[in-house]
């Protein structure tokens, strides 16, 4: 006999799809920024959008690129170095799968919050007689 989703041991709230690599705040911001800019972003734009330092952004970009989530292209515009970042197709898929799991977390938490709020209202009004 299978376990019901509400059984304590069912793993219902394990959220296995929450990817630790993506769950880090700075990386979440980087990937969200790049997802909303299909053509990618320059290093300085990404740095400003995510409120990161040069070194911090560089390190996170390196980790994300090593994982195949994004492509970092370095070149020059005139004599100035230019770094451009964009999500890869597999990076987009992986990130969207992660976001789907986050949405489930929000739905679960929201439903629990509504249930709890509803029970408080009923308890507060119980035992009162009409005037």
The two structure tokens encoding residue 60: 């996170």
Is 96 within the bounds of a domain? Answer: yes
What is the domain range of residue 111? 20-124
The reported pTM is 0.77
- Distance CA(76)–CA(89), nearest Å, equals 25
First-to-final CA distance of the chain: 52
Q: What is the pLDDT of residue 6?
A: 58
% helix, strand, coil for the chain, step of 5: 55, 15, 30
- Distance CA(98)–CA(19), nearest Å, equals 7
20: how many CB neighbours lie within 10 A of its CB?
7
Provide the domain count of the chain.
1
CATH, residue 48: 1.10.10.10
| 10-residue averages of pLDDT along the chain (131 residues) | 57 88 95 97 98 98 98 94 97 96 94 73 52 50
């Amino acid at each position: 006999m299978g376990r019901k989703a509400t059984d304590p041991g069912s793993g219902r709230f394990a959220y296995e799809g929450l990817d630790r690599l993506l769950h880090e705040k700075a990386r979440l911001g980087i990937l969200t920024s790049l997802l909303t800019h299909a053509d990618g972003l320059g290093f300085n734009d990404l740095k400003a959008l995510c409120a990161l330092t040069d070194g911090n952004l560089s390190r996170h970009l390196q980790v994300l690129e090593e994982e195949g989530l994004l492509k970092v292209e370095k070149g020059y515009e005139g004599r100035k170095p230019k770094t451009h970042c964009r999500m890869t197709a597999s990076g987009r898929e992986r990130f969207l799968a992660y976001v789907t799991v986050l949405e489930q977390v929000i739905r679960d938490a929201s439903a629990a919050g509504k249930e709890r709020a509803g029970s408080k209202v009923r308890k507060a009004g119980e035992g009162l007689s009409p005037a």
